[in-house]
Every structure is written in structure tokens, then in C-alpha cells.
């Protein structure tokens, strides 16, 4: 077999990535920002990221340099909670969570019994993620195993690092969307066998939430989790007060809503719970102690009137935290729109997210929440080269505002408060351009 010549390419522009959590202060040693930086990619992996003047002399003669001067390169955004089958009913007018599920989400998910619809929607969904600069996501399918087959087939064809799973729900939902404890276990096992670890794909055991699963089903989900310790667990917890009350009524023996999941072996590393709004301090300690992570979904929590995530309490407890768009309860695929709303949610609870920490949460923080920070989320050497190029002038207003923003932190803050999909100039997957207008 003929060996392929190593491909080496460099990208020059402003560079931002993180070595760790930059914390809440302005001085942040974990921040790596290079105004005139160079990202060197070899065979799809990061080889180096530093000041251009440091790296340029060592580049081999004739190495290709892509010029993104004036633009910002950062690791691809990581969306730690989203539902691809809800793409078609985003922005549906409804009351709060439980009515919204009945009136909009469940009927939309019914259509995924049709594999053709699932494939078509997967294509649109992944296009939309890339257009928004999101390169990895933790994704709900529907109860139909074919919804996950369709999604993974599309993700595999694009070489994306994606995580998804078939929804488990066997009660308190329409008949047409129910599995059983037995069929849910069997179908999930088969999907794990088929997809987990194939290419860049990972499986997530996905009970929708405690109220739509019987005890027998949560037991079987816990059994799956024990049998597959490297597989993800993905669910919702403590989103809406009516939901919390209902969960407590259905599982009176549990200390709290979160405790239901722990009793069934579903709190652990690589377990990600969306929302985590109405938790108490003991719950937060359990999250930290078990290594489970919270996916904070600001646009969804505001849209459905669910509540405000408590960043200060999560931080005191040392909880792993990532950000999710939660489309279609969330109202945007854009991680920039999500950062803006996350900032406001934190403000409402008396906490301020610095621009550094905001971009950290959308990149390396998300990777850490997913336990994938050894592969994605930063420009450390050896990481997979999934990255985005952001324009700093995507609208007349942003271009004007940038003229009066002097420090990198000021510019980033204006970008996250005002930016949206138009700010994403290009998205790269494993060093290959997957989408772009720049």
C-alpha cells in the first residue's frame, strides 16, 4: 500500500482556546489568546497553536497557510443537549414544559417512525449545526431505533464526533411513542453494538425523563449503564416545577428528583442531565461526587418559563457544567445566541459570567462535561482539529461596536452578546473545511 504524504496546513488569524477553567476573575492564566496566531494542523490533528511569529520559521518550505487575518479561530462549539427530531417544531407557541411536550414535541417525534423523514431531518440538522459552528453535540433521537440509525449514518458520512441515543419511554406519553422496558433494553443494546465507538460516534442511553419511564425501564437503563461503562447516559432533570412535583409523586421513596436517577445507577461519569435548575445543595454534591454533568439550556429555560440555573451554587459544589441549546425547547442553534442568554440568566441570579468563562463553557468546558477533553475542545497538540472561524464584523452594528472595543475580552463579550450564525465564517472538521462562506 502506498503511504499517504502527511498533510500539513496552517491557519493564521486571532486564536483563542483554553487550558482549563478560567474562573470568574478577569486575569485568567488558563486563557490562550494570540492576536496574530497560527494553528498548525497535520493529518486532521492539531500540531501546534501559538503566536504566528513563533511558529512560522519552523514551517516546512511551501507549507500552505490559509489567511484568516482579522478573524477569530477557536475550537468548535460543543452543544451538550439538543433534540434533532424537534428541529421542525422549534419556536412553537405553548404553555410550559408538559403542555409543550403534548402539543408539539410528541407529535413531531411521531413522524420519525418514517426512516426517510429521519434521514432528511438529520441532514438538515447537521447542516444547521455546522453553519452555526457546532462540531460536537449530545443529541436526543426519538423512541424509534431507526431515528438513531439515520442520525449516525449522516454523522458518520461527515466524520463528525457526535453522541446520540434512542429515547426510552414506556409510560405517561402517547401510545404511539412507547417502547417497553424489554424492547428499550434490547434495541439500545443493539444500537450500542452497532454504533458506539464506530468512527467518531458514541452512544448515549437516553431515558427521556423519570416520569415517562416505569421503574422496570429505569432498572433496565441502569443495567445497560453498568454493562457499558464507557457509554453516555443522557436525560433531563429538575427543569420545571410541575415536572419536579410529578416525579416526586411517582417515586415517593426517592429523596429528590435527581435521587431517582442515582437509585437506578444512572448518575456517573459521562451521565449528562439537561437543566438541573431546581436542585438542592445535596443534589449538587451528588452530581459532583458521581462525576455527572449538567447541561445548562438558557434559551429553553427562558422560552418555557422553567427557571434560572444557579451558576454560583454549581460552582461552589464543583459541578461539571456544559451548555446546551435544547432545540426545539431552545430557540436557537447558535451557541453565540445561547451564550448571550446564559449570561442574562446568570445575571438574574446575581452571578456574572466573564467572556472568557463563557467561551470556555462553549468549548473546553463542554468537552470536559462530556469527558472528551482529551480529543476535542482545545488546540492542545494532538487534539482533533475541529474548529471555527468567527467574523468580527458580521453585521453593521457588530462592526461598529468592535471599533470601540479595545481589549480582546471586550471584543469577545460584544461578539457573544450581538452575534449569531452570521458570525460563523467557516467550520472545519478534522482539518477539512465542512462549511464556510469565508
- Positions that interact with Zn ion (CB under 5 A): 274, 326
Distance (Å, whole) CA 272 – CA 371: 10
Kindly state the smallest distance separating residue 141's Cβ from Zn ion, in Å.
12
- Count CB-CB contacts under 10 A for residue 408: 17
Using the minimum distance from each CB to Zn ion, give the nearer residue, 310 or 326.
326
**Do 299 and 337 contact (CB within 8 A), yes or no?**
yes
The dihedral sign for the CA sequence 316, 322, 327, 331: positive
Kindly state the smallest distance separating residue 329's Cβ from Zn ion, in Å.
6
Cell numbers standing for residue 216: 422496570
Using the minimum distance from each CB to Zn ion, give the nearer residue, 125 or 435.
125
Which secondary-structure segment (H or E) carries 302?
Answer: helix 298-303
Using the minimum distance from each CB to Zn ion, give the nearer residue, 326 or 341.
326
Kindly state the smallest distance separating residue 236's Cβ from Zn ion, in Å.
5
Place of cell 428499550: 184
Kindly state the smallest distance separating residue 246's Cβ from Zn ion, in Å.
16
Using the minimum distance from each CB to Zn ion, give the nearer residue, 267 or 274.
274
Kindly state the smallest distance separating residue 325's Cβ from Zn ion, in Å.
9
For residue 39, the cross-strand partners are: 11, 49
Cell numbers standing for residue 383: 487534539
Kindly state the smallest distance separating residue 169's Cβ from Zn ion, in Å.
13
Using the minimum distance from each CB to Zn ion, give the nearer residue, 46 or 274.
274
Kindly state the smallest distance separating residue 289's Cβ from Zn ion, in Å.
24
Using the minimum distance from each CB to Zn ion, give the nearer residue, 138 or 274.
274
Using the minimum distance from each CB to Zn ion, give the nearer residue, 78 or 274.
274
**Do 319 and 289 contact (CB within 8 A), yes or no?**
no
**Do 274 and 301 contact (CB within 8 A), yes or no?**
no
CA distances from 401 to 34, 352, 355, 392 (A): 21, 21, 16, 10
Nearest to 140 by CA among 85, 200, 198: 85
Strand-pair category, 167-168 with 387-390 = unpaired
Q: Which residue is closest to Zn ion by CB?
A: 326
Using the minimum distance from each CB to Zn ion, give the nearer residue, 14 or 325.
325
Which secondary-structure segment (H or E) carries 119?
Answer: helix 115-131
**350, burial (CB in 10 Å: exposed 0-12, middle 13-18, buried 19+):** exposed
Nearest to 155 by CA among 181, 111, 125: 125
Kindly state the smallest distance separating residue 82's Cβ from Zn ion, in Å.
7
Amino acid at each position: 500500500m502506498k503511504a499517504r504524504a502527511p498533510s500539513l496546513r496552517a491557519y493564521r488569524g486571532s486564536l483563542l482556546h483554553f487550558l482549563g477553567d478560567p474562573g470568574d476573575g478577569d486575569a485568567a492564566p488558563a486563557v490562550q489568546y494570540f492576536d496574530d496566531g497560527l494553528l498548525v494542523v497535520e493529518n486532521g490533528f492539531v500540531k501546534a497553536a501559538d503566536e504566528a511569529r513563533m511558529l512560522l520559521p519552523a514551517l516546512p518550505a511551501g507549507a500552505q497557510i490559509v489567511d484568516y487575518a482579522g478573524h477569530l479561530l477557536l475550537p468548535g462549539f460543543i452543544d451538550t443537549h439538543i433534540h434533532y427530531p424537534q428541529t421542525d417544531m422549534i419556536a412553537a407557541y405553548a404553555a410550559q414544559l408538559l403542555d409543550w411536550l403534548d402539543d408539539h414535541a410528541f407529535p413531531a417525534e411521531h413522524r420519525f417512525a418514517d426512516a426517510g423523514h429521519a434521514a432528511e431531518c438529520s441532514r438538515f440538522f447537521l447542516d444547521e449545526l455546522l453553519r452555526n459552528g457546532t462540531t460536537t453535540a449530545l443529541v436526543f433521537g426519538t423512541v424509534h431505533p431507526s431515528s438513531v440509525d439515520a442520525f449516525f449514518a449522516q454523522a458518520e458520512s461527515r466524520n463528525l464526533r457526535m453522541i446520540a441515543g434512542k429515547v426510552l419511554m414506556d409510560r405517561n406519553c402517547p401510545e404511539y411513542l412507547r417502547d417497553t422496558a424489554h424492547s428499550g433494553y434490547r434495541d439500545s443494546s443493539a444500537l450500542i453494538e452497532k454504533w458506539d465507538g464506530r468512527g467518531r460516534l458514541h452512544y448515549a442511553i437516553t431515558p427521556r425523563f423519570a416520569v415517562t419511564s416505569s421503574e422496570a425501564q429505569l432498572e433496565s437503563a441502569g443495567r445497560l449503564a453498568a454493562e457499558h461503562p464507557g457509554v453516555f447516559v443522557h436525560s433531563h432533570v429538575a427543569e420545571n416545577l410541575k415536572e419536579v412535583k410529578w416525579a416526586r409523586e411517582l417515586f415517593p421513596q426517592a429523596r429528590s428528583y435527581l435521587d431517582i436517577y442515582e437509585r437506578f445507577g444512572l448518575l456517573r461519569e459521562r451521565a449528562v442531565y439537561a437543566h438541573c435548575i431546581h436542585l438542592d445543595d445535596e443534589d449538587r454534591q451528588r452530581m459532583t461526587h458521581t462525576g455527572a454533568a449538567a447541561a445548562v439550556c438558557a434559551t429553553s429555560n427562558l422560552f418555557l418559563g422553567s427557571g434560572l440555573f444557579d451558576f454560583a451554587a454549581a460552582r461552589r459544589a464543583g459541578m461539571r457544567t456544559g451548555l446546551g441549546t435544547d432545540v426545539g425547547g431552545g430557540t436557537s442553534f447558535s451557541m453565540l445566541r445561547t451564550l448571550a442568554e446564559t449570561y442574562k440568566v446568570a445575571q438574574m441570579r446575581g452571578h456574572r459570567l466573564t467572556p472568557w468563562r463563557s467561551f470556555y463553557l462553549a468549548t473546553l468546558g463542554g468537552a470536559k462535561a462530556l469527558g472528551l477533553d482529551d480529543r476535542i475542545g482545545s488546540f492542545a497538540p494532538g487534539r482533533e482539529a475541529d474548529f471555527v472561524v468567527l467574523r468580527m464584523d458580521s453585521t453593521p452594528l457588530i462592526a461598529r461596536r468592535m471599533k470601540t472595543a479595545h481589549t480582546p475580552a471586550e471584543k469577545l463579550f460584544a461578539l457573544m452578546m450581538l452575534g449569531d450564525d452570521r458570525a460563523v465564517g467557516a467550520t472545519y472538521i478534522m482539518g477539512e473545511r465542512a462549511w464556510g462562506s469565508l
